[in-house]
Amino acid sequence: MRLAWYNDNRLGVVRGERVHDVSNVLGTLDIAYPYPPGDPLIANLGQLRPQLESAADATDGTAVAEAVFRSPVANPSKVIGTPANYMKHVEEAEADPEIHTERFRGKVEQQGLFLKANSALVGPGDGIAVRFPDRRTDHELELAAVIGRTAADVNEADALDYVAGYAIALDMSVRGPEDRSLRKSCDSYAVLGPWLVTADEIADPDNLDFELTIGGETRQSSNTRHMILDTRRQIAWASRFYTLHPGDIIMTGTCEGVGPVAPGDVMHCSFETIGAMDVTVREHL
Ligand code: MN
């Protein structure tokens, strides 16, 4: 199943080139206060699935091309970033003083994970607003794994059982000396989209081609099999530090080819099996 938030916060099921409004199913969610950690829709996705499918059957839907897609996860408890997880990106960072800082060296095992502020999260239809135009803001195209059920101290062998699905992510980054949690958390610097593809549709998250182009020029092109820590190992490792809640997002790291964006650019991002999304860059006013 392909699940999306679109237009004015409508919940949709995407089938082929149509998105079907299934927002009425949300009324069956019983949400108490204090608000539980994680995203209640993702937490209940398994049991809601028959209702979502039948609600989608009942509408003609609208064309995907006419929909404005928001983040397919509305309320994650956290957005986790995995740095330095492709050897060719590690090498380009080591070679370019503009994109590494002295305090962060080596591969992912040496650097550990980081967090991006939830307030940075947007969908492709929202676009990104570049701050600090005198500094470099780079695109980092990544596979996002979205957690489906509470995970603490999970084994690598079982780790994919905790995944609700996958989406395309952009870990937008201001380059410079500050902590990653600041530089990668500007409003709109965490793009997720265009929809969540449930895990049953992705046989192997560690073997997906992906590409980012701007103006027809290929900037990033790789396959997730080149990750240093595969998706399983990232989930297991993260779950030893903190409980992962339904809806938590892991941005699994970027490949070589990171580069600056400027207002007016459109990043065309595509991922095998998941789909494609265009993300427009504007100035922060
Ligand atoms: Mn990244």
The dihedral formed by the CA atoms of 239, 142, 199 and 18, expressed in degrees to the nearest 10: 140
Q: What is the pLDDT along the chain (285 residues), one digit of tens a residue?
A: 999 999 999 999 999 999 999 999 999 888 888 888 999 999 999 999 999 999 999 999 999 999 999 999 999 999 999 999 999 998 998 888 888 777 777 889 889 999 999 999 999 999 999 999 999 999 999 999 999 999 999 999 999 999 999 999 999 999 999 999 999 999 999 999 999 999 999 989 999 999 999 999 999 999 999 999 999 999 999 999 999 999 999 999 999 999 999 999 999 999 999 999 999 999 999
CATH number of 79-283: 3.90.850.10
Give distance in angstroms: CA of 150 to centre of ligand 1: 24
**Do 261 and 139 meet the contact criterion of CB atoms below 8 Å apart?**
yes
What pLDDT, on the 0 to 100 scale, is given for residue 2? 98
What pLDDT, on the 0 to 100 scale, is given for residue 103? 72
Task: Tell me the three state secondary structure of residue 109.
Answer: helix
The number of beta carbons lying within 10 Å of the beta carbon of residue 246 is: 26
CA distances from 39 to 10, 78, 117, 165, 218 (A): 16, 10, 16, 13, 35
DSSP letter for each residue of 170-223: EE-EE-SSS-HHHHT-STT-EEEEEEEEEGGG-S-TTS-EEEEEETTEEEEEEE
For the chain, percent of residues with pLDDT exceeding 90: 89
CA distances from 273 to 127, 172, 207 (A): 22, 23, 10
Strand partners for 169:
142, 192
Give distance in angstroms: CA of 101 to centre of ligand 1: 14
Interval 130-165: pLDDT, tens:
999 999 999 999 999 999 999 999 999 999 999 999
What pLDDT, on the 0 to 100 scale, is given for residue 105? 77
Q: What is the CA radius of gyration of the chain?
A: 18
Query: Residue 248: which of 163, 156, 137, 125 has the closest Cα?
Result: 163
Interval 209-232: pLDDT, tens:
999 999 999 999 999 999 999 999
**Do 85 and 108 meet the contact criterion of CB atoms below 8 Å apart?**
yes
What pLDDT, on the 0 to 100 scale, is given for residue 100? 77
| All residues with CB under 5 Å from ion ligand 1 | 140, 171, 254
95: Cβ–Cβ under 8 A, 6 or more apart, which residues? none
Give distance in angstroms: CA of 43 to centre of ligand 1: 26
CA distances from 221 to 92, 107, 166, 228, 255 (A): 14, 20, 18, 16, 7
Query: Residue 212: which of 259, 247, 177 has the closest Cα?
Result: 259
Write the DSSP symbol of residue 143. Answer: E
Give distance in angstroms: CA of 23 to centre of ligand 1: 32
What pLDDT, on the 0 to 100 scale, is given for residue 31? 83
Give distance in angstroms: CA of 203 to centre of ligand 1: 23
Give distance in angstroms: CA of 29 to centre of ligand 1: 33
Write the DSSP symbol of residue 86. Answer: B
Spatial distance between the Cα atoms of 259 and 137, rounded to a whole number of angstroms: 8
What pLDDT, on the 0 to 100 scale, is given for residue 143? 98
Domain boundary assignment for the chain: 2-66, 79-283
Give distance in angstroms: CA of 173 to centre of ligand 1: 8
Strand partners for 223:
209
Spatial distance between the Cα atoms of 121 and 81, rounded to a whole number of angstroms: 13
